[in-house]
Amino acid sequence: MTIQAGSRLGPYEIVSTLGAGGMGEVWRARDTRLDRDVAIKILPESLAQSEQFLQRFEREAKTISSLNHPHICTLYDVGHETSAVDGSSSAPSNLHYLVMELIEGEALADRLTRGPLPIHEVLRYGRQIAAALDAAHRRGVIHRDLKPGNVMLTKSGAKLLDFGLAKSAAKGGGVIEGLTTLPTEARPLTQEGTILGTFQYMAPEQLEGLEADARTDIFALGALLYEMTSGQRAFKGESRTSLIAAIVSSQPAPVTTVAPMSPPALDHVIRRCLEKDPDDRWQSAHDVASELQWISEAGSQAGVAGPITHRRKSRERLAWGVAAVLLAGAVALGAGYVARSPQPGKLVVAGVAPPPGTSLVPFDFLGLALSPDGTSLAIVAIDSRGQQSIWIRQLGSSESKAVAGTEGAAYPFWSPDGRHLGFFADGKLKRVDLAGGAPQILADAPSGRGGHWGGNDQILFSPNIRSSIYSVSASGGAPVAVTTYDATSETTHRWPVFLPGEKHFIYVSRRRGEGGAEMGRLMLAASGGGEARVLIEDSTNAVYVPGFLLHGKGESIFAQRFDVDDLKTVGRGFPIVDRDVSLWEPKNLAMFTASDDGTLVYLPNSTRQSVLRVYDRQGRPLEEITGPEFQQSARFSPDGSRIAVVRREAVGGRYDLWIHDLSFERSARITFGGEAEGVPVWSPDQSRIAFACSPKGVFDICVRDLERPGETEVLVETPNWTTPGSWSPDGGKLYFDDQDPKWNNDLYVADLNGTEAPKLILRTPFNETTSIVSPDGAWLAYVSDETGISEVFVRAASGAPGQWQISRSGGSVPRWSGDGRDLFFSSADGNLMVARVESFSPMRIGQPQLLFPLPGEPHRDEPVFEDVAADGERILLNVPTTNRSAVSLQVILNWTRRVPAD
C-alpha cells in the first residue's frame, strides 16, 4: 500500500516525507488527537512479511520506549495498520509503524559536508551524545550503529536517533542478520549478512562478528569525535577489505595534526576511544562525557593529556584549580586595571564545578551571589548527606567551605563590605557573620523571594510569594512596605535590588496579560514610596553593575545600558549569554549573578527528566512509566488502574495534566495550554480530578470532569495560593491548604455542595500542608513544621483539638492505605516508612517501621515518594533521571567584551 501526503494511519495524518531512516521510511505527520507534529517510521510492507525483520522492528520499538533522555529521540506510540490508509476500497494494508518526536534541526552528516565543527561544539555535542549513550547503556541497551546520520543537531543540542540496530545487552545472543542504509556515503559499505552497522564507525570486534557491548559504542563515538574535530574520517579504504584492515590494524593520524587548534587532551580522549582491544578503551560513556566536560571547563589549560586520566576527584580538583588560576588573575588585575583603562580586559570563559562532594539542584536552583568585589561566590549546594546549605568559594583559590548555620538556606546575598550574608531559611530572613557566630533572625519571610543589602544598612526583601517589597534594618526591627502590591492585577513582587545611592531600587512585578499568560516586568521604584514605573518589559530578575542593567529574558542574559542619574535605559539590550541560562520560569528567576568588576556567573540551561516507577512493599520495581520532560505530582486512581500526573512540555515549559492507564500502557492529556500547576487529586468515584491551577495568577483549585469532558472549572477560589489535599470519602468536601501572606499555610475544608466559604480547620504560626483525609473521613494526616522541621501529624478531620506526631526525624507526603490501617510517609533521611493504626477510638498509632530505602544513586535528585495504591501493596515513586553531578557553573570574566560599541 502506497503512503502519500493525506494518508492516515490511525489518528495520524501524513503530511510529507522525511526520507529514509535506518530500516524504514520516515514521514512527517500530524497527530490529530493531541494537535502536534510527529515523525512516523514505517516498516516497508514487503519486509513486514519477514518474521526476522518484524521482530527487529518490534525490538526497536521496545528499545526506544525504554529510554528517556533529553538527547535521545522520544518514542510516542507504536501502531499496526490493517486497513487501507488512503481511504480507498483496496485490499487492507499491513503496516507497522513507530510514532516519534519530530526533531527540527540538521543531521550531523549534513553538517559535516561543510567541514569540521568548532571545538566548543565538538565538546558540547560530544558530551551530549556520550550522556545519551550512557543512559542507554545503563538500561542494558547498545546502539551498535552510531554514525553522523543518526545524530541530529537542534537548538537544544544533539539528539541520538535510530536504535534500529540496538540490542539488549542483558539478553545476550549472537549477532542478528539485517541491513541498514548509510546516508553519509555515496555508496553504502554495508551488506546484508552477519555484520550489522556502518563500516566506517564499527569496532574491530563487530567486524570479527563477536559480541558487542557498551565499549563497541565507545569506539564508534571516538570515530564520530574524530570526524567532528577534523572533518575527516578516522579510517579510510579504497575497498571494503582495505577499510576493514585499517580499522583492525592501523591507527588514525593524531587529530592534533589534522586539526592543529584542537586540544591535545581531546586527542587523548579520542585515541583511547579507538583502542583495538575493548579492555583498553574507556569503560563507560559516562567516563567519556566527564573527560569532555573537563576539557570544556579547563579551556586552554587542557593542553596536556596526562591529567585527564585521573579519577573523578582529581579531575574535580583540577577543574577548580584551573578556574581559580584564571579567576585569580582577573581578580588581581580587577579594579586597578579598570581604573587605568576604558577598555575591559580579555574575555575569559571558564567552567566551575560545584564544591567537591556536593551537587547543585539545577531545576529548582536556590541561588548564587558574587561578593561586591567579585572575589567570592556564595552558592547553595547539597552535600552527600542531602544537606542544603550555603558554600563560599574564594575565586582566587581552589578552596570552598560551607557556612555554618545556613542549613536549608535559599537566595543568599552579600553585605556591601563582604563580611556578612543575608539569606532565607525556616520561614525567616536571616543574616550571618562569615567570621563566625550563629545566624540572626531579622524578619518573618514565609516564602522569601530575594533580598539586597544596601550601603545605608537597609535590606530590601520580598517576604512572600504574594506581597509587597519590604525594607528592614540590617540589625532587625519592624519591616516597612516600600511597594504597593495590587492583588487584582499583579501576581508577585520579588527580586529587589538597590540602585547606587539607595534612593531607588528595581524589582520584578509579574502580572497576567492577554490570553492568561504571565509576564515579568522590571520595575523602578523610589525607596521612600510612590508609584513605580516599568523599566523593561518581559524581564526576569536583574542586577545593576556600573553602566548596565543585567537582566534575564527567557533563557538569555541581556545587558541593557542604564543612565543611573536620569534613571532610564539607553539604546537596546544585547544578549551576552544567548539561550543557555537555566530559567525557573514560575519563579521568574534566571540563575545568574554579577559583580562590579566585570565578572558574571551563571548556571547553564538544563532539562529535568524523571520516570514514574511502581514498587512492591519490599522495594522491588514492578513497572515503569516514562514521559516527556519532567513529571510531578503523580497519584493513583482509587481503584489503582490509572495514574494522574502533571508533565512539563519540552517547548514552552507549560504544565498539563495527563492520565496514564496501567492496563493499556497508554497516556492521554487531560488539560491543554498549561492549565495544570500540579497536585492532581482523584474524586472517590474517579469521575473528576481536582488540581492546582492559576487562571488569575494565583493558585486556585480547578476540576476536570472525566466522564463529561469540557472546560476546566474553578472549584475553590481564594485570594491566596491554594493547594488541594484530598476529597472526603463521599465526594462532598475537599480538604486543602491555603497560604495567607499574613500567616503561613493553613488547613481548610470546602463544602462542595453548599455556598458557604471554606471552613478553617487549623491555623498556627507554622506551615501546615498536605491534608490527606482517612478512608473513613474521620482523621486528617498532614505535614507541619512546628517542631522546626517538617513532620507528619494526625488530627481529627473535624478540627477538634488534639494531634499525634507520627514521624520523629522529619517526614513528608503522608498517604493512607485503602483500609485506613497503614499510614505511609517519606522520612527526611530517604526512607519509605509505614505506621500501623492500632486503634481508631481512641486513636493509637504504632511506631513507624522502615518499609524500604528509597532507591537512588549518589549525586542524583532524590526519588520522590508520590502515592500508595488502595491495596497498600503498590508504591509509586517519581525518580529523576538527570545527573546532578554533571551540572556546573559558567564564569565569564570581562563580559562587556560581548557588548557592541555605541
- Kindly list the catalytic residues: 145
Name the one residue in this structure whose C-alpha cell is 495524518.
Answer: 13
Q: Which of 642, 613, 606, 639 is nearest to 627 (CA)?
A: 613
Geometric angle at alpha carbon 685, from 679 and 690, rounded to 5°? 25
For 679-696, give one letter per residue: b (16+ CB within 10 A) or e: bbbbbeeeebbbbbbbeb
> CA 224, CA 226: separation in Å to the nearest integer?
5
- The Cβ-side half-sphere exposure at 724, using a 13 Å CA radius, reads 29
> CA 409, CA 367: separation in Å to the nearest integer?
9
Are 377 and 393 contacting, i.e. CB atoms less than 8 angstroms apart? yes
Q: Which of 408, 375, 376, 372 is nearest to 390 (CA)?
A: 408
Q: Write a three-state SS string for 187-214.
A: CCCCCCECCCCCHHHCCHHHHCCCCCCH
- The Cβ-side half-sphere exposure at 860, using a 13 Å CA radius, reads 18
For 410-424, give one letter per residue: b (16+ CB within 10 A) or e: bbbbbbeeeebbbbb
> CA 255, CA 148: separation in Å to the nearest integer?
18
Are 601 and 875 contacting, i.e. CB atoms less than 8 angstroms apart? no
Cα 8 off chain centre by:
35
Are 550 and 592 contacting, i.e. CB atoms less than 8 angstroms apart? yes
Say which DSSP state 897 is in: G
> CA 882, CA 887: separation in Å to the nearest integer?
9
> CA 6, CA 233: separation in Å to the nearest integer?
41
> CA 383, CA 407: separation in Å to the nearest integer?
11
- Record the cell numbers describing residue 780, joined without a space: 486528617
- Record the cell numbers describing residue 229, joined without a space: 574535530
Helical packing angle, 312-340 and 285-298, nearest 10°: 20
Cα 804 off chain centre by:
37
How crowded is residue 105: how many other Cβ atoms within 10 Å of its Cβ?
A: 16
Q: Which of 92, 90, 72 is nearest to 80 (CA)?
A: 92
Q: Are strands 470-473 and 480-481 parallel, antiparallel or unpaired?
A: antiparallel
> CA 151, CA 72: separation in Å to the nearest integer?
9
Are 764 and 784 contacting, i.e. CB atoms less than 8 angstroms apart? yes
Q: Is 46 exposed, middle or buried (0-12, 13-18, 19+ CB in 10 A)?
A: exposed
Q: Cite the DSSP H helix spans in 436-541.
A: none
What amino acid is encoded at 130 in this protein?
Answer: A
Geometric angle at alpha carbon 20, from 18 and 23, rounded to 5°? 140
What kind and span of H or E run contains 243?
Answer: helix 240-249
How crowded is residue 508: how many other Cβ atoms within 10 Å of its Cβ?
A: 28
Q: Is 372 exposed, middle or buried (0-12, 13-18, 19+ CB in 10 A)?
A: middle
- Record the cell numbers describing residue 534, joined without a space: 516599568
Are 224 and 207 contacting, i.e. CB atoms less than 8 angstroms apart? no
> CA 815, CA 773: separation in Å to the nearest integer?
9
Backbone torsions φ then ψ of 641, nearest 5 degrees? -90, -15
Greatest Cα-to-Cα distance within the chain, rounded to the nearest angstrom:
87
